[in-house]
A and B are shown apart, each in its own frame.
Chain A
Amino acid sequence: MSKKYETVIGLEVHVQLQTESKLFCGCSAAYGAEPNSNTCPICLGLPGTLPMLNKRALRFALQASRAADCQINQFSKFDRKNYFYPDLPKGYQISQYDLPLGYDGRITIETEEGETKEIGLTRIHLEEDAGKLIHAGSVGDSAHSYVDYNRGGVPLIEIVSEPDIRSPEEARAYLNALKQIILYLGISDCNMEEGSLRCDANVSLRTRGDREFGIKAEVKNMNSFRAVERALAYEVKRQEKLLDAGRKVVQETRTWDESRQETVSMRGKEEAEDYRYFPEPDLMPLEISDEFIEEIDDSLPELPLEKKHRFQEQYDLPAYDAGVLTQSRELAKLFEESAGKYDDAKEVSNWLMGEYLRLLKENEVEPGQDELNGEKLAELLELIEDGTISSKIAKEVFEETFVSGKAPGEVVEERGLKQISDEDELAEIVAGIVADNPEVVEDIKGGKDKAIGFLVGQVMQETRGKANPQLANQLIREEIEKH
């Protein structure tokens, strides 16, 4: 990080709301349908058609606003943002201008140093998405473009941060925190590849100690969180070089070129856009009552950061564990269910952070899409604790339960995985192994106590892991005494 300059970043995030239908018409808002199959006279803006607001989209936008600590404009309205583009069927986008649903909010992030920091939110507003332009060839020189309006009219919330972000890493942390909140609310899948979360950034530098902001560049077309971090890092470096060389940053829009790993100036209009915003006369205003806000507040789930802190306290978990377990609402739920039935929360956490996350990744599924539940995990941990199975065997059982949903006890039974804790049975095996390894026995007698591990290993191998290792250890020592 430069000592001379301070990085100033503000992010504009568009999140597609996961409603059934579009914002202003009864077309499906689903992703991936055949081109233009989710269109109708209303979302195509055919002459005389009128918008009608989707109740659930409004609710989702309010939930997002409240979850991000926003104030609510209790008198709110829609406005038209006027500009011509082929993906915009009406020649204007229905958005919100001076009275957004939410304003003055904040998102708490954790910096790399493990401290918390608040990033202010200027506003959260509701608006409609545009269609999708497909260019034959590259954007610049294709003779034709094709328009698919399936996405046109899908509800979006635009979340505008204050210029409070001070590094590309913070930008990523902010996006992570924001995404987590939205996933907790269940109002979007935040899938960047499918475009349900999109992020633009304003980046500028100023000499440390300066109060005034430097000239900013807008960076677009970043298609993953990692791309955001890289694009911003690149842009910061680029601006640093310019300033160091005594040159000026140009106020412009730049696009992130993923293949070249650099931001590129977008050709075209340098003239500032004049969107001629004015109140949308086809929609009536919104009056959000105190009761409605209260109802929204009551409907909010416990949010990630809150939950993390509670996990640390209530279950005495390390911050790292609590952070991982609250990544997703489903994972946190699984943890709490298990920890409610099994005393050792740290043990539950270990299994979830270890085996469980590994299996999720391996099977390419999200928490909740597997067959494990809290009761089954607790049962498994009981089986380990009471010595029925070893922790090694437990992994095998866990995987089976994860995939098929069979109760661990049942798996152990079916597969005959029960630990051999019967002294007589095990003593017989031990006697054989001791007899077969006289040199090792000599070593042990000669004080090389570590060598006992080899014999235990032999016992485990012979029993295919079913021997109780503590018991085996004890029996080996007794057997050696006899010699």
Chain B
Amino acid sequence: MISREEIAHIAELASLKLTEEEKEEFSEQLSDVLNYINKILEVDTEGVEPTYYPLPSSNILREDEVTNQDRRQEMLEQAPDKEDDQFKVPGIEQKE
């Protein structure tokens, strides 16, 4: 069972704010899912290497070349808020 405190901590990590109902619901549902998922803990994986990449290759590289021109207008076009060619966001700390 995942506690509501844990749910709150995970939400914090994920930058989510949950309503009380959501906390309740998620704590139940995630607990169910985890119970199911926990069955993999029983698999014997002694000496087994993890698979990070389904079909790995290696050393995929590009040449060090500048291929991009100034595209800032395109990049800024969809910004929710902007000023002087910069993305504008609320301040870092709480306003007092």
Contacts and interface: CB of A to CB of B under 8 A. Distances in A.
Is chain B in direct contact with chain A in the complex (CB below 8 A)? Answer: yes
Given A26-B67, A27-B66, A281 B53 contact: yes
A36 B52 contact: no
Contacts of B67: 21, 26
B7 to A, nearest CB: 15
B53 to A, nearest CB: 6
Given A145-B91, A281-B52, A284-B59, A134 B68 contact: no
A27 B70 CA distance: 9
A396 B89 CA distance: 58
B93 A37 contact: no
B86 A148 contact: yes
B64 A19 contact: yes
A71 interface: no
B71 interface: yes
Contacts of A144: 88-91
Given A36-B85, A146-B83, A286-B58, A25 B68 contact: yes
A55 B62 contact: yes
A36 B76 contact: yes
B91 A135 contact: yes
A229 B52 CA distance: 43
B43 interface: no
Contacts of B75: 36, 39-41, 44
Interface in A268-320: 274, 276, 279, 281, 283-287
B66 A143 contact: no
Contacts, number: 127
A60 to B, nearest CB: 9
B64 A21 contact: yes
A143 B63 contact: no
Interface string B67-88: 1101110011000000111111
A28 interface: yes
Interface in A59-103: 77, 84, 86
Contacts of A34: 70, 72, 85
Contacts of B62: 26, 52-55
Nearest to B13: A274
Interface residues of A, number: 51
Contact of B93 (A25, A140, A285): A140
B61 interface: yes
B35 interface: no
Nearest to A150: B72
A285 B52 contact: yes
Interface string A160-203: 00000000000000000000000000000000000000000000
A423 interface: no
B14 to A, nearest CB: 9
Interface string A378-400: 00000000000000000000000
Contacts of B66: 20-21, 26-28
Contacts of A148: 86
Given A26-B65, A84-B15, A143-B90, A287 B58 contact: yes
A285 B58 contact: yes
Given A53-B60, A55-B61, A284-B60, A146 B88 contact: yes
Contacts of B96: 141
B45 interface: no
Contacts of A36: 72, 75-76, 85-87
Nearest to B71: A40
B63 to A, nearest CB: 6
Across the A-B interface, give the 4 residue pairs with the lowest CB-CB distance, nearest first. A26-B67, A56-B64, A146-B86, A55-B61
Interface of B: 13, 15, 52-53, 56-68, 70-72, 75-76, 83-93, 95-96
24 contacts: A28-B68, A35-B86, A36-B75, A37-B70, A37-B72, A53-B60, A55-B64, A77-B52, A134-B86, A135-B92, A139-B92, A141-B95, A143-B90, A143-B95, A145-B88, A145-B89, A145-B90, A145-B91, A146-B87, A281-B52, A284-B58, A285-B56, A285-B58, A286-B58
